[in-house]
Amino acid sequence: MDVFRKAGEKFEETKQSFMEGKETPYVCRSCEEPVDDDYDHCPHCGEETVEPVE
């Protein structure tokens, strides 16, 4: 159940950042962390899944 709690917390953080106007242009599709720049690898988890937010 800890995985679901962490996923919920990440979703809430992302939702709040969008609502506060702190939209970031990129997101990691693996860990769902917002990323400020177009990295080849996510600075949070290291995966190659950084994509533009649409």
pLDDT of residue 51: 83
pLDDT of residue 12: 76
Q: Indicate yes or no: pTM above 0.85.
A: no
pLDDT of residue 21: 61
Name the phi and psi angles at 35, rounded to 5: -130, 130
Q: How many domains does the chain have?
A: 1
Give the structural domain span for 26.
2-52
Q: pLDDT class for 38, splitting at 50, 70, 90? A: confident
Query: How far does CA 8 lie from the centroid of its chain?
Result: 12
Q: pLDDT class for 1, splitting at 50, 70, 90? A: low
